[in-house]
Structure 1
């Protein structure tokens, strides 16, 4: 192991330990003496109780806005200055979302007898400030991990939050099997399902549709670079998971929320719609699946822009064998991306269907680790990213030259 790799691993471990320490420090004024130190309740009442959810929500909103607002998209692509402005806007939106959510949590805590030592107005203010500060500490910590550690900081913090619950979940499932509350055969089926799911995630996330590209001879100063071949890799899943699965419920829940404000939540139509759109209901399953599939296509078209790629190839004297430059290249890439995205969209839809199917047929287990395909995707992708970075750092000399 190289010294640089050891330093990065040590920094990452230290940062993650700091994250776990923050999840065990309760908000000032909350009485946690009646809870076990390892209880999940402590984490829900800690400085990091909001996690990275406000920041991720803000980032997703800004990303979606850049898809429909060309000015913001141009600002993102204008250079470092433009990206800094977008980052500041994302942090400002994070502040608003975190403050709103933290104040709601703090206000609700004061209504629980015995939980808050002094449930006056100042508790809501200090608790809100503490939880909002915790969000920004996590954002800063994730950036430090990305810059000085190994892996993507945001993904690592999310993954650790998922992984730490697994031992407790497994112990709870074993206890339920011992008492006969659930069948050991059902647990075995779940275990096999997740083995297959993880294997499928590794296969799909590592798969690429390689498009062969030929570059002509190029003169750079006094040097003449010879013609060369290369490949243009296109991922099966270019849309990721968070944006399609996060945005899909918004498509019908936002209109429902508006209808509830106008008609009232007790209106028969609104109440019936909310019942049908609950997790595990057929209407929710069908509509969310269609929405995830469509959003995967729309977002992939934004991330992998065939016209931009065709223009970039033309600027660098690159051509696809048998395809004319320009519009013909853009059309060919559009067809390839569309066919590839079908596989990726089906894959994302199946992952998000796992908890829906468990709930619909009543075959789920009462713990988070067995009902969320997205959690498995986040953890597996994080591990794959760490593996790639470890290999790259190991093969790079201190001067930045690959061995």
Structure 2
């Protein structure tokens, strides 16, 4: 192991230990009260109570806006200055989201007598400020991991939150099996299912549709580069997971919330719609699945732009054998990406359906709404990213030159 790799791994481990330490520090107003609660609830009363989710939500909102707002899209693609502006807007939106959530959280705790014996003296604003501060500490910590450690900081912090819950979930399932509340065969079936699911995620995330590209000979300064062949890889799942699955419920819940505001939450139609759109209900499963499938195509079209790729190939004298440059190349790439995305969209839809299908058939376990297909995908992709970075750092000299 190289010294640089060891330093990066040590830094990442230290940063993650700081994250876990922060989950044991109660936010302002809790004091020793939170220490009397079971360990599984400790993080809910810490300065990291909201985790990194407000920042992820803000980033997703900015990304969705860039899909429909041309000005924001151009700003994002305008270079380093544009990316800094996007980062600033994301932080501002994170501040709004986290303040709103933290205030609601602190106000809700105020109504729990077991936590707050004297509500009149409960420091709501101080608690809100400490929780919001915790969100920004996590943002800073994730950036440090990405810059000086191994892996993507945001993904590592998310994965750490999922992974630390697994031993507790396993212990709870074993206890439920001993008490007869859960069948041992069901628990064993879940174990086999998740092993198979992780293997499938690894295979799909590593799968590529390689398109052969030929680059003509060209002169670069005094050098002449010969004709060479290359591969243009297209992932089966170019849309990722967070944006399709996070945005999908917004498509029908936002109009429903607007209808509730206009007609009233107790209106029969609004109440019936909310009832049928609860997790595990067939209507919710069907609508969310359709939305995830469509969003996978929409976001893939944004991430993998055939026209931009065709123009880039033309600028570098690159052609696809048997395909004319320009519009023909763009059309060919569009067809390949569309067919590839069908597989990726089905894959994403199946992952987000896992916990609801388990509950629908009465075979769910206590973890099924926490460690679901999305959590497994985040953890596996984080591990694959770490593997790639470890290999790259190991094969790179201190001067940045490949061995």
Instruction: Tell me the TM-score normalised to structure 1 length.
Output: 0.98
Partner residue in 1 for 2:388 = 388
Shift of 1:77: 1.0
Secondary structure of 1:249 counterpart: helix
- 1:145 matched to 2:145? The reply is yes
Shift of 1:40: 2.0
Partner residue in 2 for 1:188 = 188
Partner residue in 2 for 1:135 = 135
Partner residue in 2 for 1:58 = 58
Deviation readout 1:47-95 (Å, 9 max, x if unpaired): 0001111100100000011111111111111111111011000000000
Secondary structure of 2:234 counterpart: strand
Partner residue in 1 for 2:268 = 268
8 Å CA contact 2:355, 2:369 repeated in 1: no
Aligned pairs for 1:138-287 within 5 A = 138-287=138-287
Secondary structure of 1:224 counterpart: strand
Partner residue in 1 for 2:48 = 48
Partner residue in 1 for 2:355 = 355
Secondary structure of 2:13 counterpart: helix
Change (3 A) 1:112 1:365: same
Q: Distance in 2 between matches of 1:38 and 1:389?
A: 37
Shift of 1:367: 2.1
Change (3 A) 1:328 1:173: same
8 Å CA contact 1:169, 1:368 repeated in 2: no
Shift of 1:369: 7.2
Shift of 1:120: 3.7
Secondary structure of 1:401 counterpart: coil
Change (3 A) 1:36 1:169: farther
Shift of 1:297: 0.3
8 Å CA contact 1:306, 1:331 repeated in 2: yes
8 Å CA contact 2:26, 2:34 repeated in 1: no
Structure 1 unmatched ranges of 5 or more: none
Instruction: Tell me the TM-score normalised to structure 2 length.
Output: 0.98
- 1:291 matched to 2:294? The reply is no
Secondary structure of 2:254 counterpart: helix
- 1:73 matched to 2:73? The reply is yes
Q: Distance in 1 between matches of 2:80 and 2:388?
A: 26
Q: Distance in 2 between matches of 1:36 and 1:165?
A: 19
Q: Distance in 1 between matches of 2:38 and 2:309?
A: 51
Structure 2 unmatched ranges of 5 or more: none
8 Å CA contact 2:296, 2:341 repeated in 1: yes
Greater alpha carbon shift after TM alignment, 122-131 vs 211-220: 122-131
8 Å CA contact 2:306, 2:330 repeated in 1: yes
Partner residue in 1 for 2:23 = 23
Shift of 1:356: 1.3
Shift of 1:14: 0.4
Deviation readout 1:23-53 (Å, 9 max, x if unpaired): 1101121155475576122100110001111
Greater alpha carbon shift after TM alignment, 308-317 vs 71-80: 71-80
Greater alpha carbon shift after TM alignment, 120-129 vs 331-340: 120-129
Give the alignment's Cα RMSD to 1 decimal: 1.3
Shift of 1:114: 3.7
Shift of 1:117: 6.1
Deviation readout 1:206-257 (Å, 9 max, x if unpaired): 0000000000011011111111000000000000000000000001111111
Deviation readout 1:332-379 (Å, 9 max, x if unpaired): 000000000000000000001101101211110122477510000000
Partner residue in 1 for 2:311 = 311
Shift of 1:17: 0.4
8 Å CA contact 1:352, 1:374 repeated in 2: yes
Q: Distance in 1 between matches of 2:3 and 2:284?
A: 51
Which of structure 1's runs of 4+ aligned residues deviate more than 6 A?
none
Partner residue in 1 for 2:326 = 326
